[in-house]
Amino acid sequence: MAKVKRSEFALFLDTTPAATNPTWSRVGAGVTTGVLNYNPEVTTETYIHEDTATTTLERYAPSMPLEAQCINTDAIFEFIDNLRRTRAVGSAAETDALLVYLYETPTSTDKYPAELQPVTIQIDTFGGDGGVTNRINFTVSFRGASDTGTYDVSGNSFTT
């Protein structure tokens, strides 16, 4: 039985969302935990002729809260810190994310199944205790549907 390690589920953010071509930077430096919360929204009703409830899954609202050590040369930190310093809201807080499934069999050499997902980045907290590395907490929240395709590791690119 082949277990899937966390390092085989990669999250990339486009750190130049205003540019014509995306710059895919991998989230990881200074981050020790990254859990994708699907946040299912359900409706539970008990009909008048029944004693057992019926639950319907209405939708998902996926998000990934992250805590990162502030590493000044890391592209992800610099991007997130700029959002924090400018207090980015609305479209200024939006970018794209890639969820790359490196544990899957490559579709060809160095190309793995992936999802391109529009996201909003919210800054949650910034700072920390004295004498230790500063931390920034932020949440990557999905916006709408994703596109499936492949991520080319050697070319650092996504195609549908």
Please tell me the predicted confidence (pLDDT) of residue 107: 87
pLDDT at 72: 92
Asked if the model's pLDDT at residue 51 lies above 90, the reply is yes
CA distance 49 to 39: 30
The kind and range of the H/E element at 68 are strand 63-69
DSSP string computed for 83-123: HHHTT--GGGGEEEEEEEETTSPPSBTTEEEEEEEEEEEEE
In words, the CATH class of domain 6-159 is mainly beta
Strands 135-142 and 9-14: unpaired
Which residue(s) pair with 114 in the sheet? 100, 149
**Helix/strand/coil percent split, the chain, to 5:** 10, 50, 40
- CA 106/CA 151 separation, integer angstroms: 9
Q: Which residue bears the tokens 């981050």?
A: 31
Each domain of the chain, given as residue ranges in start order, spans 6-159
Q: What is the mean pLDDT of residues 40-48?
A: 95
Confidence of residue 31 (pLDDT cuts 50, 70, 90): very high
pLDDT in tens, 96-139: 999 999 999 998 889 999 999 999 999 999 999 999 999 999 99
